[in-house]
Amino acid sequence: MDGSDAVARAFGSGPVGYDPAEVSPGLWAMTMRTDRSLQEYVRIHLRIPLLPDLGALASTFDFVADAAPGVKEVLGVGKVCWEVRERHYDLVIVDAEASGHIVAQIASPRTINSLVPRGPLRDQTAWMLAILDDPEQCGVVVVTTAEELPVTETVELVARLRDGTRTDVARIVVNGMEPAVPDGALALAGDPWFAAAAPSHAASVLATAGRRAGQADVTAALHGLGVPVTELPAASGDEAAVTELLAGSFT
Amino acid sequence: MSGPRFVIVCGSGGVGKTTTSAAIGLRAARGGERVLVVTVDPARRLAQVLGIDGGDTGTVAVEGGGSLTVTMLDTKAGWDSLIRRHARDAATAERVLRNPLYHNITARFVNSHDYIAMEKVNELASSGLYDLVVVDTPPSRNGLDLLAAPQRMREFFGGRLLRWLTFPYRNRVAALAAKPFLMVADRLLGAQFLGDIAEFFVLLQSMEPGFVRRAEEVESLLGSERVTCVVVASAERGSVEEAVFLIDRLRSRGMHVSMAVMNRTVGAADVPAAGETLPSPDEVRLRLPGIDASAALAEVALIGARLGDTAARHSIGVDAVRAVVDDVRVVPLVRTRGAGDPLEAIAGQVGPR
């Protein structure tokens, strides 16, 4: 949603535009552009053909989308919901904007309802809400790290999502967890004889265990939210393994 | 030199930008400076980092004779005061403030929050209250909305769009020229809603000279020697790529990038010494009969090897940033359990050299 090529880069693909590109077998990627979404919308719903002179008119479209409350957001969310409704794919994954914007985005059909008294845009909000509000069809995955500020932000975000939308918070993913240190290694590292024989090995084990315990202290707040939590290990350089692990927790 | 220096702290999400902002402020305050840290993030994160309770502004006492004040931006109050300042008379200001769409539009309008942050910076520029102002920015993956905000505001007022939108209310002949736009907009949004928006922008347009002048002042301040940027990243590949991209974008805007902070970096001190050999399983069995010696030794070796791999990756990441920024500060991973450590870990690295 944010116009960066992060998703395409993750699949080793070049820049991906608004038109979906197959970056891996069975997996398509696209970059959201609200101006294109608006053009598509106008073409499909208002039956106004694409005008040949897009110059001034296109930028005016963009401006309306920019200035009118909720319009830019609803064009992004609307495009995503449209792909879901038309069943073009089995699963649609949205790499959303920063957490500050996500509530406004998901709430945008309701914002439109409260601000736009009538008109076709308002008429479009009902089917979007039917998708967004249905936990069978739509859920938010909140990604965080095991540190104090991001965890606080996550707790706040879950509260704001529940307050401002009816969309299900499906899962919390905690990224960058230290590995759990097995009891045997911990017993070795804690033994004075071993610590004298292999001091830097003992220190690395104890530091890892200490960081893990600190992360567990901080993430405790996430476990009382009634949302399933998936913990991911710190980057290991083997990104394929992490992807497999993560994919496993969603099936 | 009158007025404070500014440090703008940038980086992508999750790299520790807010904590770094607080640490830079804390370090300067310990050096005897009067420091203000401004958070652009609506959440009360900075106050939490520094242990300030409640309120939008708080000051902490700092050893060393300096002071550290933290403030949260209030976007709504910022816009209200801008409208009052630039409106040609009080009645116009009141009409804008009472427009039902005012709050919604300003809350989203051309990165409204960013613009108010830059306004705040401009206001502080001539204030004698602080020696240093640290600005914590929102996550920025794809460029710098914050720094671009004044320019976008200026372009918006000077450009065709505002004229297009306000055409029909100024000139009936012009309304015909704008007809394709009105036809589409009308069918999309409904005439009444469009009318409300247009009225709002007609009022706003009357404030154009004031807004444009302010935007130019901010742009000129940002390009001056008084403002530097600090980029925060982690040493993993993706974060480094984004940081290098961001540094490039900052420089192409004419900004001075003074420092990069590589947060949570695994270094040589975290990795077992290369020459250190582990005891044999037999020795372990003799000393610690209760544990599975071979398994435990393998686990210890694995933890060490994993840290070694990470340190090697991070070293490549730090070098990649060093290739583009002279002053790179490496913040080691915390080695203990407990809160507050990340702040001190960064504060330990960001002092003057």
Q: Model ipTM?
A: 0.76
Most confident residue range from B31-45, B241-255, B266-280? B266-280
pLDDT score for B162: 59
Q: Please state, in angstroms and rounded to a whole number, the distance separating the CA atoms of residues A112 and A232.
A: 37
> Given B110, B142, B276, which is nearest A3 (Cβ)?
B142
pLDDT digits (tens, 9 = 90+) for A201-212: 999 999 999 999
Checking if the pLDDT of B86 tops 70, the result is: yes
| Percent of chain B predicted with pLDDT > 70 | 71
Amino acid at A169: V
User: Using the beta-carbon criterion (under 8 Å), do B139 and A98 form an inter-chain contact?
Assistant: yes
Using an 8 Å CB-CB cutoff, list chain A residues near B107: 69
pLDDT digits (tens, 9 = 90+) for B265-293: 999 989 999 899 999 999 999 998 988 99
Q: How many CB atoms lie within 10 A of CB B162?
A: 19
pLDDT digits (tens, 9 = 90+) for A44-94: 766 555 554 445 555 555 555 555 556 677 788 888 999 999 888 999 999
> Given B272, B277, B338, which is nearest A214 (Cβ)?
B338
Question: Chains A and B: how many Cβ contacts under 8 Å?
Answer: 205
pLDDT digits (tens, 9 = 90+) for B142-200: 446 667 766 666 666 666 555 655 555 544 444 545 555 555 666 666 666 666 666 67
- B350: pLDDT confidence band, cut at 50, 70 and 90? confident
Amino acid at B98: R
Sorted by sequence, the CB contacts under 8 Å of residue B253 that are 6+ apart come out as B144, B147, B148, B222
Using an 8 Å CB-CB cutoff, list chain B residues near A213: 337
Most B CBs within 10 Å: which of A113, A201, A205, A239, as the mutation test of the B interface?
Answer: A201
Q: Are residues B271 and A204 in contact, defined by beta-carbon separation less than 8 angstroms?
A: yes
User: Using the beta-carbon criterion (under 8 Å), do B300 and A118 form an inter-chain contact?
Assistant: no
pLDDT digits (tens, 9 = 90+) for B285-343: 999 898 899 999 999 999 999 999 999 999 999 999 999 999 999 998 876 665 446 77
